Copies of this chain bind each other. A is one copy, B any other.
Amino acid sequence: MTEAVSRPTLEAVAARAGVSRATVSRVVNGGDGVRESLAERVRQAVADLGYVPNQAARSLVTRRHDAVAVVIAEPESRVFADPFFALQLRGISKELTAHDNQLVLLLTEGRDDHARVARYLAGGHVDGALVFSLHLDDPLPGLIRAAAVPTVFGGRPHGSAPGGAGVAYVDCDNRGGARTAVRHLVDLGRRRVAHITGALDQTSAVDRLDGYRDVMADVLGGADPGLVVQSDFTPAGGERAMRELLDRCPDVDGVFAANDLTALGALRVLRESGRRVPQDVAVIGFDDMVPVAEQTDPPLTTVRQDIEEMGRLMARLLLSGLPGGRGRGRGTARTPAPDARAAPDGGVILPTTLVRRATA
């Protein structure tokens, strides 16, 4: 661990190039309206000295930080249990990097942390925030609104309503994906199609349940309520739910699980019970967590969402909404991704696709 040395300033570069600080500043920041010969001299001096602008000094006057906070609430939760989190972060990081913004990571675990994060965001240390807050009772969204920081949410936040206030968010098409999955089971000839829900205090779980109901109502004239079992996105929860299901409806012939982890648990119980998958019971998951979905026995058919793209999109959306026309470099807010869709409540929805493996 070495000590950092003092670095050259604008002043030094100016002296070396034989110009004023103002000129150097112009060159360093895009440099319009500077004679090319001078600009070249400046660039040379910058290179010679290894000059790097002092971001603190710059922020002090511009009030911009070129930094964005990524807030992840309750890392215990699902977000942390799977590569979801990492992939999303990767997408965000790529986009921010492409626009020379830094990523400040804020992980929260409880009450005190909420206050801390709120204070930080309100403190104007970053230009905006990307927020993942899954649970219904999370106070964070409210605090963030109060902090008046430009924000994009990851996943449809609670309280967003069609035609509503227009909170910015990015989500995958949970409802549509669920519909595709269930319709696929129906197309396979299954008539007793069950759904093991996710944690219903998360909008993704609610939306997937809605998608399931859509198809059941449409195609089968409404679902037997006994075919819906509440669970929590975990393998253990999936096991429990599947057992209950088998108990209640031994004739079940199709299962749409709220996510791959749940499907994993269900699969295990199905095997224990002597049922063959997919012959006796077809199973579909959600997420396409590849390491899980490919390793189940048999490999899991599931609904894929492009998680990294969601992250990228969140960042792009945030940057494009910030003053200074950032984020216009590649892609714009209007057409964030070739196939993204605008939701009526101001969100952006990414499509899902069914990945057929062996369970359905």
Contact = CB atoms under 8 A, between A and B. Distances in A.
A124 interface: yes
B86 A80 contact: yes
A102 interface: yes
Contacts of A151: 1
Contact of A56 (B3, B60, B80, B89): B60
Tallying the copies of this chain within the complex gives 2
A7 interface: yes
Interface stretch (A115-123, A206-214, A334-342): A115-123
A291 B86 contact: no
A174 B53 CA distance: 42
The interface size bin for chain A is 35 or more
A116 B103 CA distance: 14
B124 A4 contact: yes
A93 B107 CA distance: 7
Contacts of A80: 83, 86-87, 90
A298 interface: no
Interface string A274-302: 00000000000000000100010000000
Interface string A34-78: 000000000000000010111111011000010100100001000
B93 A105 contact: yes
A295 to B, nearest CB: 6
Interface of A: 1-5, 7, 50, 52-57, 59-60, 65, 67, 70, 75, 80-83, 85-87, 89-90, 93-94, 97, 102-107, 109, 113, 116, 119-120, 122-125, 128, 145, 148-152, 168, 235, 264, 291, 295, 318, 321, 323
Given A89-B105, A93-B107, 16 more contacts: A1-B128, A1-B151, A3-B148, A4-B148, A4-B149, A7-B123, A52-B124, A57-B60, A67-B104, A70-B105, A75-B90, A93-B105, A103-B105, A103-B107, A104-B104, A235-B295
16 contacts: A1-B128, A1-B318, A2-B145, A2-B148, A4-B150, A50-B122, A54-B124, A56-B65, A81-B291, A82-B83, A85-B86, A89-B107, A93-B107, A97-B116, A103-B105, A235-B295
8 cross-chain pairs, A with B, having the tightest CB-CB distances, nearest first: A56-B59, A1-B150, A52-B123, A93-B107, A56-B60, A2-B148, A1-B321, A105-B105
